[in-house]
Amino acid sequence: MQLTLFCCTVISAILVTMTVFSLKLIRDNQNLRQFDDFQKCTAGIYEALSEQDNISHAWLKKLTDENAFRISILDNETPIIFDSQNSKSADSAVFELARETAWEAYTLSAASVKNSGYMKHMEFPLGGAETEKSLASVGYIPKKYGILTVTILSLLPAPFSGLWNLFLPIIFAALAAIVILSVCSFFLIRSLIRPLVKNHEQQVSFFSAASHELRSPVTVIMTSLPLLKNPSAAKREASYALIEKECLRMKRLIGDMFTLASLDNGAISIHKESVFIDNLLIDCYEKFGILAGQKQIRIDFLLPDTLIPEISCDPERIAQVFTILLDNAVAYTPQGGTIRISVLLRTNAVVISVADSGPGIPDESKENIFRRFYRCDHSRTDKNHFGLGLSIAKEIMELHGGTITASDSGLGGAEFKVLLPLDGR
């Protein structure tokens, strides 16, 4: 929610800034057009006045009504009254202000026109805090009998007046964009946060499980250390053997954790070479043959009738995967049970299956079996397995572009299938 609020604030700030800038640009363009129209209109008025010797009051009245102008004409400093609005004292003050501004800002005066003999006029914005904002035009027209001083005022409309029909859609569009982008940001951020939260939860679970697994052998070792001082040789031997066993257990655990950390950091690289996969399986079978015989477990080895071609893989890492699977199978298969190793050849891959007649994997655990430190309830008392082997095997298979899956076996237990692509990709 905090990230969403931050994104909404940033989006709102950007859109509001863009909207205000757009409205100001539209307003400035409107003012520019008004000023341009005002210049064109006043130019025509000055041209007409310069050509006329007689000024028609009706014509002046028509100009003021059609253009919403206020016009002051001084004939040799004498006002020409053609409408009642010219007699207002307030207007007289504004006209005077316009003529003063023309002189102070643009050095435009009757004297400059009288000396040159040519008509001059200037248009400019007028107004401030004390007067209405308007466009002003001050012009001096030389005549045979003197100088005509013309002052034209055109009131500017209130800011944004007449533009609301255009502004309102822009404002509503900006508000709609803020709402839509905010909602999209919420769902996008939530989708991005979920993997991070899940990863954080997995890390917490990982460290909790790791600390638990390490605390157990350390506790046993600390408990057995005082027995080494016992004068009885038998107790010292038993204590030494127990400490050695727990140290080896910690060594395996730390080794598995280091392997996973190296896989996560990309520190472990695979070195592929062409190998016969059945030879790797036979080597692993021979390593676990004695241990399986001690538990009276039968291991069936099924190979296809056709020759299995060489596969490009890292033989050490693939052998590690087979070792993990056979170690689990022997550990969880009860005495007198059966383990079946089979190899199936497909078009572009070879499938190696390790099935056992053990207790199997519950359906609710099949999705989590490859998680680190995850163990099914029935195997949690086994101190020789930490729940890291299958996660290591999964990482190794992903490095080879293969897969490893768990399912129920026909023997009544679990079956793990390893798929290796023949081309090594």
Cα dihedral sign for 202, 205, 211, 213? negative
Contacts of 348 by beta carbon, 8 Å cutoff, 6+ apart: 421, 422, 423
User: Which class in CATH covers the domain with range 164-264?
Assistant: mainly alpha
Amino acid at 392: I
Mean pLDDT for the chain? 80
Class of residue 261 by CB neighbours under 10 A (exposed 0-12, middle 13-18, buried 19+):
exposed
pLDDT tens column, 209-252: 667 667 767 777 787 777 777 777 777 787 888 788 778 777 77
Q: Write b or e for each residue in 146-185: b if 16 or more Cβ atoms lie within 10 A of its Cβ, otherwise e.
A: ebbbbbbbbebeeeeeeeeeebeeeeeebeebbeebbeeb
CA distances from 325 to 144, 170, 232, 293 (A): 118, 66, 42, 17
Give Dmax (Cα) for the chain: 142
Assign residue 356 a region (left: φ > 0; alpha: ψ between -120 and 50; beta: otherwise): beta
Q: Domain map of the chain by residue range?
A: 2-155, 164-264, 271-421
Q: How many CA atoms lie within 13 A of 86 on its CB side?
A: 17
Report the pLDDT value the prediction gives residue 20, as an integer from 0 to 100: 82
Tell me if the domain spanning 271-421 has CATH number 3.40.50.150.
no
Report the pLDDT value the prediction gives residue 266, as an integer from 0 to 100: 67
Secondary structure class of 410 (helix, strand, coil): coil
pLDDT tens column, 104-148: 888 888 887 777 778 889 999 887 545 567 889 999 988 887 888
pLDDT tens column, 364-412: 777 778 876 666 554 444 555 556 778 888 888 888 888 888 888 888 8
CB 59 within 8 A of CB 73: no
CA distances from 47 to 43, 141, 150, 417 (A): 6, 9, 12, 99
Q: What is the CA radius of gyration of the chain?
A: 48
Report the pLDDT value the prediction gives residue 132, as an integer from 0 to 100: 64
CB 326 within 8 A of CB 284: yes
CB-based contacts of 163-170 (< 8 A; 24+ apart in sequence): 163/23, 163/26, 163/27, 163/30, 166/26, 167/23, 167/26, 170/19, 170/22, 170/23
Report the pLDDT value the prediction gives residue 138, as an integer from 0 to 100: 92
Class of residue 412 by CB neighbours under 10 A (exposed 0-12, middle 13-18, buried 19+):
middle
3-state helix, strand, coil in the chain (%, to 5): 55, 20, 25
User: Would you give the DSSP letter of residue 370?
Assistant: T
Report the pLDDT value the prediction gives residue 63, as an integer from 0 to 100: 81
Assign residue 296 a region (left: φ > 0; alpha: ψ between -120 and 50; beta: otherwise): left
- For residue 412, give both structure tokens: 């009544």
Judge whether residue 186 has pLDDT over 80. Answer: yes
Residue 164: pLDDT band with limits 50, 70, 90: low
CB 77 within 8 A of CB 62: no
Residue 175: pLDDT band with limits 50, 70, 90: confident
Report the pLDDT value the prediction gives residue 137, as an integer from 0 to 100: 92
Give the mean model confidence (pLDDT) for residues 194-223: 72
Q: How many CA atoms lie within 13 A of 395 on its CB side?
A: 22
Of residues 106, 104, 163, 154, the one with CA closest to residue 127: 154
User: Which class in CATH covers the domain with range 2-155?
Assistant: alpha beta
Report the pLDDT value the prediction gives residue 87, as an integer from 0 to 100: 46
Phi and psi angles of residue 360, each rounded to the nearest 5 degrees, phi first: 80, -175
pLDDT tens column, 279-332: 888 888 888 888 888 888 888 888 887 888 888 888 888 888 888 888 888 888
Judge whether residue 165 has pLDDT over 70. Answer: no
pLDDT tens column, 36-71: 988 999 998 888 888 887 777 888 888 888 888 888
Judge whether residue 263 has pLDDT over 50. Answer: yes
